[in-house]
Amino acid sequence: EAGVAQSPRYKIIEKRQSVAFWCNPISGHATLYWYQQILGQGPKLLIQFQNNGVVDDSQLPKDRFSAERLKGVDSTLKIQPAKLEDSAVYLCASSLAPRGSGFGNEQFFGPGTRLTVL
Amino acid sequence: AQSVAQPEDQVNVAEGNPLTVKCTYSVSGNPYLFWYVQYPNRGLQFLLKYITGDNLVKGSYGFEAEFNKSQTSFHLKKPSALVSDSALYFCAVRDMGGSTLGRLYFGRGTQLTVWP
């Protein structure tokens, strides 16, 4: 079974530039998550999709971050303009739909994109 | 508010010795608890989870964890550590009673080092 794919693996940009990350979840996984992992901290949820609808984006800095999952499969996370504090690893994860007892479903993570903002 | 605490930034053990990585949590409802492991330059890998039932759950690579409701803890354990267990371990909780139903909260992580 193929895992969660992410690209690029590494990205270096200057502040105020824009950047986009791509994620392709495990086939059949209806739920897709984007996390931000700052060095020395645990992952923090940015946005959760159920199919192509947003379930939770309350922690997404919407003035600069945006995400879409137009066809309910792959997803793109964009930052525009980037700030120094956006330097982090951006992790994409997917899981089976968490409804009912499905909230116990584990999430499967991609390798992440390491973003450095100079 | 939901939170997860991993009180030790680092745990060092000798190969063959038992290991424990500690985790405590705070939620408003029943917790769903998870352990993940992260190797360098790789994403998180699921180890085990507690949803309901037996307080002692067994997971991948010989790891197990004990759910203790009165102490709000979910410590990760392994009877005999291997050098290959050296990695960053994250505890996570899903609050089934809060307003953020379904959101997973992670601890800061504990770096486990097993020396030969």
Q: What is the CATH number of the domain that holds B86?
A: 2.60.40.10
Give contacts of B 8-67 with A, CB under 8 A.
Answer: 32, 34, 36, 41-46, 49, 51
**Test the B interface: residue of A50, A94, A103, A108 with most B CBs within 10 Å:** A103
What is the pLDDT confidence band of residue A1, given thresholds at 50, 70 and 90?
low
User: Residue B30: which domain range?
Assistant: 3-115
Return the structure tokens found at B30: 């029943």
> What pLDDT shows up at residue B87?
96
DSSP character for B23? -
Assign a CATH topology to domain A5-96: Immunoglobulin-like (2.60.40)
> What pLDDT shows up at residue A72?
83
Rg (Cα) of chain B, in Å, rounded? 14
Contacts of B90 in chain A (CB under 8 A): 42-43
Helices and strands in chain A, H and E counts? 0, 11
Each of the 116 residues of chain B gets a pLDDT tens digit; together they read: 778 999 999 999 999 999 999 999 998 888 899 999 999 878 899 999 999 889 999 999 999 999 999 999 999 999 999 999 999 999 999 877 666 667 889 999 999 999 99
- Residues in a beta bridge with B3: B26
Distance from CA of A20 to the nearest CA of B (A): 19
Q: What is the pLDDT of residues A15-56, one digit of tens each?
A: 999 999 999 999 989 899 999 999 999 999 999 998 889 988
Q: Identify the closest residue of chain B to A10 by CA–CA distance.
A: B41
Determine the 3-state secondary structure of A8 from DSSP: coil
Number of domains in chain B: 1
Q: What is the pLDDT of residues A48-102, one digit of tens each?
A: 998 889 988 999 999 999 999 988 899 999 999 999 999 999 999 999 876 655 6
